[in-house]
Structure 1
Amino acid sequence: GSYKLHLFQTFVFHNTSFVDTSAWGTLEDIVFAALQKYTWNILYLYPWVYPALPAAEWDNLQNLFRVYVHNFILSLSGDATLHQTHYPFVVQCATGCDLYHNGSYTKFYHLAYNARNFLSFHVDNSHWERQEESELAAHFERQFNTFTGFSATLQHLLNVTCVDHMKKFIEYGRAALERQELPVATVFARTPRPDQLQLVCHVTGFYPRPISVAWLRDGQEVPPGSALNTSTTLPNADLTYQLRSILAVAPDDGHSYACRVRHHSLGNRSLLIPWG
């Protein structure tokens, strides 16, 4: 299958001397490592993470992150003063690589400023490009394109290191990646107004994330439409997911209704929960 190794960072610049930093890494949807807030040490969040790489490589990554975070904060703090930026402001970074089943991969590095797309790094030609037309973005584009050493390191990390490490994490974390949790489904009704009944199918506790939830009317699947409202899939605190699907019907319309759930953990079976 295909896999994603992504790294997320948030820098909250409160004033000229105080910056909050947080960072975490994900393999697919598993948060497997994070950066300790004040020491900037790497925290290994699963037992399989540390053994996946040689100790010397973790030391190397640790030092790289420390230097990167330090220089990043220094650079942005200096520029904020220069451009009279209003405090507080937030800079976010998303970077990583996606590996596909045919062996090909893509990689990316994006910066956001106060939740706006701000700057991107083109890995193949080692070039920074602004994502908005502003004086600040133009300045950062020029400045980051002078950081040739940083750009070369980033290019190597995304072109080589990211995929190499991902393959190791996949190998050592296979049990976590292939974990399966069965969905639990309940059906209940609510009456928002006298002439309408809302049938709610709540499905929770499942892993992995992909799932199919459908309403059946007299055994036939209800097609998408204004009467059908399905939420996005939301995370639970225990590393499983939940969603709900709501079907609006007329009370006593004479039809029979059931909620059908299909999920990888069920194999070829489906859950079928009738209403009433």
Structure 2
Amino acid sequence: MVLIIIVPLIIGLVMSFFNYNLLTLHRGIPFIGFSNYSKALGDENFWMAFWNTLWWTAANVAGQVALGLSIALLLNQPVKGVGIYKALILIPWAVPSAVAALSWMWLLHPEFGLVNDIAVRFGLVSEPVAWLGRPFTAQVWVVIARVWKEFPLSALIFHAALQTIPKDLYEAAEVDGAGVWKRFWNITIPYLKASIVVAITLITIWTFNSFNMIWVMTKGGPGGATEILATSIYKTAFQRYNFGFASSQSILMVIFLSVIIIFYLYKVEGKKID
């Protein structure tokens, strides 16, 4: 744990206080204090990536929780072959992120993609669209791709929680005249609250730090529309070779994520106490 998490974090923190740029390495690596942090906080591109990261994370949390819960509820029904269905929904999760991203790029290809073929056939568009070449559609499709890839996690979490709900509660509620929606909101959701908190926390952490799918599909484009902190920091470090500046951005990213998680958990625990 120390070697994997703490040591790299300390190294990154130390590097953030130096002008560690491979392009100017011959001039030395001078200590510059908080200059990298000041530069990052005053950088429009950094804040654009930050806000993009927020909507990217929020959209993924909403999509994965909604789809995962829907699938979990379907798997909880008394149907034959539920074990096979459980195995099938794990397929997206088992596919490597880079492979999944390439598959979605093929589906969205302007000339040969299945999405354009279906859209044109059904009259949804008059001609093939470069889905990943337009800011809004690129944002939509990278979220859809990520939700498809990761929803099995929340589905399994919710399905496991659904197994713990006593069946007699539903039977008693049905006898009392409670409809499907009333049973869902008054029985299912309260029992799933802890699982929902776990799912939202995990999805938030992993999505906030995610890199692979956006990098493969759009590399942060077009025009920075899908540029998130992870891709922005990668470009700073490995395309501009400014490791000191990239380290300061990474530390700020850790701080932002920690604040978001702490605030969320505080609000959840506060509601429990109330």
TM range (shorter): under 0.3
TM-score by length of 1: 0.27
More strand by share: 1
The structure with more helix, counted as a fraction of residues: 2
| Structure with greater contact order relative to length (CA < 8 Å, sep ≥ 6) | 2
User: Normalising by the residue count of structure 2, what TM-score does the alignment of the two structures yield?
Assistant: 0.27
